[in-house]
């Protein structure tokens, strides 16, 4: 059995402004770094074999903070774990999108990556990780939309309608030729004391 902890990166300034980030390369904000430290403390209670991450800064920085706590120095960067491409929507808020393209803006193309493309790309990355770490325990730090689309492909019966919270953990496992999800969008570590 291979066990994978899927992690959404810590918060950014654009998260707080409710701006679509897509593949724009934004750093964590101070709260995002604190969230990552709390997550790292939670993950340090278990043994992990490897860490993979999107090469976008908000995910790779989250992964480095986790790796520092776990004593895992090598972070495997995989561009397939990047967020879904947002096209012309990147950098805009909902109000700005409505003002520019109308209330039905989400029905327009606007150069956004299609959900199915994200499912294929994310699933391929996770399946490659399983091949690299048979019976391993792996942390994957990525982004909300790509993770949800990946889960749609791997665990089709899973309800992924709830958006993933910053630094949330979703646990999946590959066992007897099928994927199981035992935990979705859990961020109880953020309720912990800020003193690490």
Q: Would you list which residues are annotated within the binding site for substrate?
A: 8-15, 58
Q: Which of 9, 61, 90, 113 is catalytic?
A: 9
DSSP collapsed to 3 states, 119-174: HHHHHHHHHHHHHHCCCCEEEEEECHHHHHHHHHHHCCCCCCCCCCCCCCEEEEEE
Q: Are 55 and 82 in contact (CB under 8 A)?
A: yes
Relative to beta strand 169-175, strand 178-186 is antiparallel
Q: How many residues does the chain have?
A: 196
Instruction: Let me know if 83 is a catalytic residue.
Output: yes
CA-closest candidate to residue 113, choices 164, 150, 58: 150
Asked whether the beta carbons of 22 and 2 are under 8 A apart, the reply is no
Examine the residue annotation and report whether 57 is marked as an active-site residue of this protein: no
Catalytic residue chosen out of the listed positions 83, 90, 113, 143: 83
Binding residues: 8-15, 58
The span from the CA of 79 to the CA of 72, in Å, is 20
Known catalytic residues? 9, 83
């Amino acid at each position: 059995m291979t066990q994978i902890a899927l992690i959404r990166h810590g918060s950014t300034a654009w998260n707080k402004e409710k701006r679509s980030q897509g593949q724009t390369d934004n750093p964590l904000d101070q709260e995002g770094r604190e969230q990552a430290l709390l997550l790292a403390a939670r993950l340090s209670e278990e043994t992990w074999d490897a860490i993979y991450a999107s090469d976008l800064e908000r995910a790779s920085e989250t992964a480095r903070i986790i790796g520092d706590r776990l004593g895992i120095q090598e972070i495997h960067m995989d561009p397939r774990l990047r967020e879904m491409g947002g096209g012309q929507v990147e950098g805009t808020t909902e109000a700005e999108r409505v003002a520019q393209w109308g209330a039905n803006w989400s029905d327009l193309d606007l150069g956004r990556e299609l959900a199915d493309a994200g499912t294929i790309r994310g699933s391929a990355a996770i399946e490659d990780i399983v091949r690299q770490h048979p019976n391993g325990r792996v942390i994957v730090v990525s982004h909300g939309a790509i993770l949800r689309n990946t889960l749609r492909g791997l665990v089709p019966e899973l309800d992924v309608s709830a958006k993933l919270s910053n630094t949330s953990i979703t646990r999946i496992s590959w066992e007897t030729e099928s994927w199981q999800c035992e935990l979705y969008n859990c961020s109880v570590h953020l309720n912990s004391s800020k003193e690490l």
